[in-house]
Structure 1
Amino acid sequence: MTLSLRQHRDEVGLTDGQLLVNGAWRPAADGATWSHRHPATGEVIGEFPVATGSDVDDAVRAARAAFDGWANSRATTRIQVLHRFAELLRDHAPELRAVQALDNGVPLSFSSGIYATSVGAAADVFDHHAGWVDKVGGQTLPPYQGGDHLAMTFREPIGVVAAILPWNAPFLLFAQKLAPALGAGCTVVLKPSEFASFTVLRMVALLAEAGLPDGVVNVVTGPGTPTGEALITHPGVDKVSFTGSRAVGRRIVEASAATLKRVSLELGGKSPTLVFPDAPDVGLAAMTTMGTVTMGLSGQACVAHTRALVHRDVYDQFVTAAQLMAGLITYGDPFEPGTTSSPLINERQLARVLGFIERGQAAGARLVCGGERADGDLAAGNFVRPAVFADVDNGMEIAREEVFGPVLAVVPFTDEDEAVALANDTDYGLGAGVYTADARRAFRLARRIRAGTVGINGFQVEPHLPFGGFKQSGLGREGGRGAFEAYTELKTVLMPLTDELM
């Protein structure tokens, strides 16, 4: 029987989406809509407006009008709103997970069991940033030149923020952008991905219940053109915070130049896992690494460890265990408990991943398993069987480009220096993993590898730690105090204490 998700749409009670401008839900100015097709079945799940430049302008103006009131609100007000919203997220977690499954196909088994992709993680991010609201401030400094005057600094909210989300992790990324922005006193125009808008719209609806004033958060839906382009080029936007592809990140940097917008970018990765013979469990290291490119998002995660650098002494053992992990993946109805992994998000990404696999074989890499499109009951969906490539040279395309699919490239190395050289021989620098029982080696490598986050014998994301990348993996960090401060401007104030001129 061909897979269908229509009954789940009815059970969840999903309705078509609308724009949110100054607290009012409405269609696009020209009535244009986007029909979202589910990646597992090709069925139309629902429609939402394609915001025009006029709609974006209305949203930015609403955010600007709301800015002074929110920026000057009491710290306790902002703290209470963030904490209330965190509790609402937890209360509505089952509903939100179901809406996400209808949006991007992430299985309930994954969104309920893996912390980083859970609603609970998003709630923790809001609670964490609520704690910074009354703690991030300026300084009173002694006058460098002496004399009777005060030298002070203040941190003030940056203004109107354009927050642009990807489709793959709407819970966490919604929180990582909105929690520090709102906590700092900024107002926001939010654009979700056209492939995961319903999840974001439902989360935004809960903000009003948490007590957020009208206009503080506005939502414009639609694709990059025209909606995203109108937002990133709008002169009324003070900062753009974006998570997504490197190509779009470059476009945002270009567009920001006209008005010198502040920019935070979390872009792609080609994260390496380094496995040494003394790893506590080579098989577990292989299954964990393969799990990042197969479980849940099927490798459609920027920090997936898609490049395994493995010592020659344990290379065959690693490849065998990775192949075993690939065989444990189950595709199908995301609402079924036994489904482990999602489809690729759209037909364009499906064709892209299959192209990488074909070219990898042509370049001489050995395809150990997988790499073909799923057939039978899954033929209508964007499913690709997890692929393991062995005998990969680090110069090959599959070892250098972000595939964003269930594909692992396994590269051999001989010693520590070669492993570090291979790890750093990339345009990216988002994450990395090191598997070794030697603590001194682990810390040596953690310092030598050019990546924003390095996991030792494991890898995870925490809401209070900075997350972001070196090199072309982005600009800035999300998480922790630094993320909060990134939504502020630093102001210096000087005041004499006598009638004499300074």
Structure 2
Amino acid sequence: MTLSLAPHVARVGLPGQGILIDGRWRTTESAWTHIHPATGEAIGEFPVASESDVDSAVRAARTAFDEGTWPRARATTRIKTLHRYAALLREHADELRALQALDNSVPLSFGGIYATSVEAAADVFEHHAGWIDKAGGETLPPYQGGDHLALTFREPLGVVAAILPWNAPFLLYAQKVAPALAAGCTVVVKPSEYATFTVLRMVELLHEAGLPDGVLNVVTGPGDPTGEALVTHPMVDKVSFTGSRAVGRRIVEASAGTLKRVSLELGGKSPTLVFPDAPDIGLAAMTTMGTVTMGLSGQACVAHTRALVHRDCYDEFLAAAAMLAGAITYGDPFDPTVLAAPLINPKQLDRVIGYIDRGKDSARLVIGGSKVDGVGNFVQPTIFADVDNTAELAQDEIFGPVLAVVPFGDEDEAIRLANATEYGLGAGIYTTDNRRAFRVARALRAGTVGINGFQVEPHLPFGGFKQSGLGREGGRSAFEAYTELKTVLMPLTDELM
């Protein structure tokens, strides 16, 4: 297949800037060329921010926080700005979906799925705008001593470094930037080098909504040097990161010198638990397989890449999952019949193929198992059955369209297998027994558990147990993570002594 996205680039257009510092766009001598994962062709370029550029961006954010109007603005100012921005996101949704397809090749056919949609990002900004006038503290009676009040206040934390992954730029940008701005922080955003153009356009729209200069700054480029300079900068008060465990550990180490606050979402090996009394075994199988194959091709932290299936419905589950796997289509992300994205780069392609090749020695290959010939970095949806739960197929986050299916015999065994992992991000349970559903949900060590379905919503906290990360995104807990809690002791006298 011969495929070129050049006509789409010409039609959609790419943001011409790359680095935003104190309201002014800059370029640099060094540039990153974006190679599209579905075609291997160069789509466009953007600047690589140097350590000096990062320093300028952080200093701009620091000045905007220490001296600017945004942290001190009336609640109505921030609320109206974020609502105007949400409206602009919805207005430009088609353009943004097209830019995402040019960035990471997520097909337009998948752009309407809520968790990866522009609509979800707009909802996140509106949700957090709702917290702005509710950031209250408490008034407490004296515990001892003279007549006084103890007052608590929530104040903006400071300068935030928001480091984004490439796989879901709409939602993950919103989950970091929205609560930070709502709380009154200032931000330096570093998009992934594999999904930069989408974020640049979203930032342009934010300034159209009226955000003051310096409140949000952007540095573009790869993790080294750009990301490293950002997470180690002494003027950054908090780092919010979504990505790999290796980088997450590096951020924790880098934060130690200045005790930066840290929020990390570091992936998962989320299990689906399918019991014989599931409302529809075939639907459970296709829903699970859909998270692994459709849209992002398993390149999602919360994809349910480990299916724990009761032996009584094991064959039925495999047959339905294989049927969906065989129906997945590849190619031009602008083609409405295309259902799946390629792997993001050749390095990830080689990594996934390596897992598949090794898996053939220890588990039963049901379907797939190789690269799609002649089409970008695509890999066939792959199902392994009879997987040992201790094998790397069941333990490692492969980040590709690979489902490991593990049989179990009873509820206790299912729970033990599900929890036998270093991760704890998400899980799914399929059963019609309400008591079992609640019992198993409470027993699973995972941040979000779906019963007969799974979704991410703006008002719900999302994050992981164990090595799936630190902190939560979404809801009140996310907003409060961008604040500091201050106590003030106020004497109740006619004059302050």
Shorter-chain TM-score: what band? over 0.9
What residue is the counterpart of 1:42 in the other structure? 40
Runs of 4+ in 1 over 4 A off after TM superposition: 499-502
What residue is the counterpart of 2:331 in the other structure? 332
What residue is the counterpart of 2:248 in the other structure? 249
What residue is the counterpart of 1:103 in the other structure? 103
Q: 1:369 touches 1:386 (CA, 8 Å); kept in 2?
A: yes
What residue is the counterpart of 1:58 in the other structure? 56
Alignment of 1:199-210 (within 5 A): 199-210=198-209
Structure 1: how far apart are the matches of 2:65 and 2:135? 19
Identity over aligned pairs, percent: 78
Structure 2: how far apart are the matches of 1:501 and 1:346? 65
Structure 2: how far apart are the matches of 1:198 and 1:14? 6
Structure 2: how far apart are the matches of 1:170 and 1:501? 52
Alignment of 1:360-371 (within 5 A): 360-362=359-361, 364-371=362-369
Structure 2: how far apart are the matches of 1:137 and 1:55? 37
Q: What's the CA shift string for 1:321-370, capped at 9, x where partnerless? A: 111010111101000110111000000000000000011112x1011110
What residue is the counterpart of 1:407 in the other structure? 402
Please give the secondary structure, in 1, of the residue aligned with 2:236: coil
The alpha carbon displacement at 1:186 in A equals 0.1
Structure 1: how far apart are the matches of 2:16 and 2:248? 29
Structure 1: how far apart are the matches of 2:406 and 2:117? 32
Residue 298 (structure 2) pairs with residue 299 (structure 1): yes
Q: What's the CA shift string for 1:25-56, capped at 9, x where partnerless? A: 1113xx10000000000110110111010000
Please give the secondary structure, in 1, of the residue aligned with 2:332: coil
Please give the secondary structure, in 1, of the residue aligned with 2:133: coil
What residue is the counterpart of 1:217 in the other structure? 216
Structure 2: how far apart are the matches of 1:426 and 1:18? 40
Structure 1: how far apart are the matches of 2:360 and 2:495? 78
The alpha carbon displacement at 1:16 in A equals 4.1
Structure 1: how far apart are the matches of 2:220 and 2:143? 51
Please give the secondary structure, in 1, of the residue aligned with 2:450: strand
Residue 461 (structure 2) pairs with residue 461 (structure 1): no
Quick one: which of 470, 482, 496 aligns to 2:491?
496
Structure 2: how far apart are the matches of 1:369 and 1:151? 64
Q: 63-72 or 328-337, which moves further after superposition?
A: 63-72
Question: What is the TM-score with the length of structure 2 in the denominator?
Answer: 0.98
Q: 393-402 or 141-150, which moves further after superposition?
A: 141-150
What residue is the counterpart of 1:282 in the other structure? 281
The alpha carbon displacement at 1:144 in A equals 1.3
Which one-letter code corresponds to 2:392 in the other structure? E
Q: 1:427 touches 1:472 (CA, 8 Å); kept in 2?
A: yes
Structure 2: how far apart are the matches of 1:294 and 1:104? 15
Alignment of 1:342-421 (within 5 A): 342-362=341-361, 364-376=362-374, 378=375, 381-421=376-416
Which one-letter code corresponds to 2:57 in the other structure? A
Residue 19 (structure 2) pairs with residue 13 (structure 1): no
What residue is the counterpart of 1:181 in the other structure? 180
Structure 1: how far apart are the matches of 2:382 and 2:217? 41
Q: What's the CA shift string for 1:119-168, capped at 9, x where partnerless? A: 00000000000000000121111111264111100111000000000000
Q: What's the CA shift string for 1:51-98, capped at 9, x where partnerless? A: 010000000000011114211111111001110000000000000000
Please give the secondary structure, in 2, of the residue aligned with 1:293: helix
The alpha carbon displacement at 1:102 in A equals 0.1
The alpha carbon displacement at 1:416 in A equals 0.2
Alignment of 1:259-274 (within 5 A): 259-274=258-273
Structure 2: how far apart are the matches of 1:449 and 1:44? 44
Q: 2:15 touches 2:201 (CA, 8 Å); kept in 1?
A: no
CA RMSD of aligned residues (A): 1.1
Structure 2: how far apart are the matches of 1:248 and 1:328? 35
Q: What's the CA shift string for 1:348-400, capped at 9, x where partnerless? A: 000000000011112x1011110111114x1xx10000000001000100100
What residue is the counterpart of 2:420 in the other structure? 425
Please give the secondary structure, in 2, of the residue aligned with 1:25: strand
Q: 2:15 touches 2:200 (CA, 8 Å); kept in 1?
A: no
Which one-letter code corresponds to 1:33 in the other structure? A
Q: 1:16 touches 1:46 (CA, 8 Å); kept in 2?
A: no
Which one-letter code corresponds to 2:310 in the other structure? H
What residue is the counterpart of 2:2 in the other structure? 2
What residue is the counterpart of 1:341 in the other structure? 340
Q: 146-155 or 131-140, which moves further after superposition?
A: 146-155
Which one-letter code corresponds to 1:454 in the other structure? V
The alpha carbon displacement at 1:13 in A equals 1.6
Please give the secondary structure, in 2, of the residue aligned with 1:314: helix
Structure 2: how far apart are the matches of 1:499 and 1:148? 11
Q: Provide structure 2 residue ranges, at least 5 long, that are not aligned to the other structure.
A: none
The alpha carbon displacement at 1:499 in A equals 7.1
The alpha carbon displacement at 1:498 in A equals 2.5
Question: What is the TM-score with the length of structure 1 in the denominator?
Answer: 0.97
Please give the secondary structure, in 2, of the residue aligned with 1:122: helix
Q: 1:17 touches 1:47 (CA, 8 Å); kept in 2?
A: no
Structure 2: how far apart are the matches of 1:447 and 1:123? 32
What residue is the counterpart of 2:478 in the other structure? 483
Q: 1:15 touches 1:46 (CA, 8 Å); kept in 2?
A: no
Q: 2:462 touches 2:474 (CA, 8 Å); kept in 1?
A: yes
What residue is the counterpart of 2:227 in the other structure? 228
Q: Provide structure 1 residue ranges, at least 5 long, that are not aligned to the other structure.
A: none
Which one-letter code corresponds to 2:81 in the other structure? V
Structure 2: how far apart are the matches of 1:36 and 1:456? 40
The alpha carbon displacement at 1:17 in A equals 3.5
